[in-house]
Amino acid sequence: MNSSTIKTQADFAIVAADFAIVALATTAELATMAERHRVKQMAYNVLIVDDSIPMRGIIKKIIKASGFNVKHFFEASDGNEALKILNEEWLDLVLTDYNMPKMNGLELLDEINKSDTLKSIPVVVITTEGSKQRLVEFFEKGAMDYIKKPFTPEEIKEKLNLIMGEPQYEERILENGDEELDF
């Protein structure tokens, strides 16, 4: 908001409050505020790994509908294709199915964890699998979370924002404790 957009007393009050916060903030607090602003503006490169072309399209459409901030979608039909893309592109997040030919989701997690470069990329398993044993396997292999099919735009947005550290979601968890977490 600049001086040409200050049209009401409410606008002025918001700007004055922002200046007061900045004036009283320490250098560390200013750095934290700047980082939160930067993270809010960040768009993510997302890899969707699923052997079903229609399912990849549905996942992409639901993510777009959710409002999750995506810069670019990459797609792979199995773990082998995913590894090729992971080694060629800068990716922020991987969403993978479990049941795929050639290399399934668990095998993909194994391969990702072998690479110091790739193992820091969050992986979320999107699957119809829901058994406790299978979920434990996902987490033991390094999955950050799982999303059970079918899912809503709201569910996917909340989970992806939490995983990617979006400030509004982190603050809600801090305020409400961990009762909202699935794992």
Bigger pLDDT: 42 or 152? 152
Catalogue all structural domains in the chain, each as residue range(s) with its CATH number. 3-39 (no CATH), 43-168 (3.40.50.2300)
Mean pLDDT of 149-173: 76
Q: For residues 87, 91, 93 and 99, what is the CA-based torsion angle, rounded to 10 degrees?
A: -30
Higher-confidence residue: 149 or 93? 93
**Confidence grade of residue 21 (pLDDT, cut at 50, 70, 90):** very low
Dig out the tokens for 56 from the structure: 């990849």
Average pLDDT of the chain, as a whole number: 78
DSSP string, the chain: --GGG--SHHHHHHHHHHHHHHHH--HHHHHHHHHHHHHHH--EEEEEE-S-HHHHHHHHHHHHHHT--EEEEEEESSHHHHHHHHHHS--SEEEE-S--SSS-HHHHHHHHHT-TTTTTS-EEEEES---HHHHHHHHHTT-SEEEESS--HHHHHHHHHHHTT-HHHHHHHHHHTTTT---
86 vs 16, higher pLDDT: 86
Predicted pLDDT at 24: 52
Q: Is the pTM of this model over 0.85?
A: no
Between these two residues, 75 and 136, which has the higher pLDDT value?
Answer: 75
Q: Give residue 33's pLDDT.
A: 47
Share of the chain above pLDDT 90, in %: 44
pLDDT in tens, 55-111: 999 999 999 988 888 999 999 999 999 999 999 999 999 999 999 989 999 999 999
